Amino acid sequence: MTLDDFEQHILLAQFTSFKIGGPAQYFYRAKTSDDAVAAIALARSQQLPYVVLSGGTNVLVSDKGFAGLVVKMENDVITIFDTIVKAESGASMAVMATKTVEAELTGYEWGIGIPGKVGGAIRGNAGCFGRDISMNLKRVRVLYEQDDVVWMEAKQCQFGYRDSLFKRHPEWVILEAEFAFEKGDSELGKKKLREYIQYRREKQPQGVASAGSLFMNPMSSEVPADIADEARTAGVERNDRISAGWLIDKLGLKGKQIGGVKISEKHGNFFLNTGAGTANDMIELIRYAQQHVHARLGIQLHEEVQYIGF
């Protein structure tokens, strides 16, 4: 493999759910894990900066793009043997949820509502409905330092709320993962899938250019006591965290627009590209929301999104 095997000046907006982002200096579609390893080994040998995209659902790419190599993970094989599931990093979370239910496994139905891919979900320990991806994860196959490919046990990955060791080591690349589930009732699993899908249709904007939940939900202990009590009364506290969307809505910020981006009228934690939004517009809107929540409620909101090219 040489640099000539990479595409050049490919606009990244088309590969992100925000539909925002300038060109990549080099771009490569990795159809297999071995493809990804070879591409990144080359970038490392050339001292070329690199970044990995899987689903592109939780990233904001600079309007200037990325001066280096962007590897798009398109390795998407899912295999199931008894209660063990192996999924490559480019596999769809929703497809994996459906496949596990069809295989009469339970514990992953919630994944139907996550629009991204397995690799990105592991990096950010994605979750919803009181569960997250680390709960059934056994181990992760990673392109590590000095081009070594190793298996890391889940306990080594230092998972936390929307966090993992991979966020602190962006040079490591998740290639595939192994999960363990329990046997379950397929019909009950299908019912859960329908319920989760219906919930999201009712509560969250659909068919829009968004990264999903933009801010992490703050811990109840980090929220002023009176606001935490109000949140409990309103039913927006879960797992000792307060809904960031509820806090934004509480300040009347739904519908706030800057340039071509705005906060959804349907859900306060969904920031939308209306069609002509830029990365700079989105950053301004993010800062606007953070500043208002901090100034008026005394709460600091932190983004879930990964910034690329800034």
What is the pLDDT, as a whole number, of residue 40? Answer: 96
For residues 254 and 302, membership in a common domain is answered with: yes
Task: Give the position of tokens 């070879």.
Answer: 38
Residue 179 lies in a domain: yes
* Number of residues that this document lists for the chain: 310
Q: Which of 204, 250, 205 is nearest to 227 (CA)?
A: 250
From 29, 123, 139, 162, active-site residue: 162
Q: What's the whole-model pTM score?
A: 0.91
Residue 214 lies in a domain: yes
Cβ within 8 Å of residue 296, ≥6 positions away: 251
Catalytic, 213? Answer yes
What is the pLDDT, as a whole number, of residue 204? Answer: 82
CATH of the domain at 264: 3.90.78.10
pLDDT surpassing 90 at residue 115: no
Residue ending a domain, choose from 187, 220, 245: 187
Residue 104's pLDDT band, with cuts at 50, 70 and 90, is very high
Percentage with pLDDT > 70 across the chain: 100
Residue 192 lies in a domain: no
Residue 196 lies in a domain: no
Residue 146's pLDDT band, with cuts at 50, 70 and 90, is confident
- DSSP lists the bridge partners of residue 234 as none
For residues 243 and 261, membership in a common domain is answered with: yes
Residue 127's pLDDT band, with cuts at 50, 70 and 90, is confident
For residues 67 and 99, membership in a common domain is answered with: no
Distance CA 293, CA 268 (A): 12
Largest pairwise CA distance in the chain? 60
Residue 135's pLDDT band, with cuts at 50, 70 and 90, is very high
Residue 85 lies in a domain: yes
From 62, 92, 164, 213, active-site residue: 213
Percentage with pLDDT > 90 across the chain: 90
Catalytic, 304? Answer yes
Distance CA 281, CA 261 (A): 6
For residues 110 and 182, membership in a common domain is answered with: yes
Average pLDDT over residues 37-54: 96
What is the pLDDT, as a whole number, of residue 282? Answer: 98
For residues 82 and 183, membership in a common domain is answered with: yes
Instruction: Note whether 219 and 241 are within 8 A (CB).
Output: yes
Residue 199's pLDDT band, with cuts at 50, 70 and 90, is confident
State which residues form the domain around 100: 78-187
Q: Which of 203, 160, 95 is nearest to 304 (CA)?
A: 160
Residue 166 lies in a domain: yes
Mean pLDDT of the chain: 95
One DSSP character per residue, 69-122 reads EEEEE----EEEETTEEEEETTSBHHHHHHHHHHTTEES-GGGGG--SBHHHHH
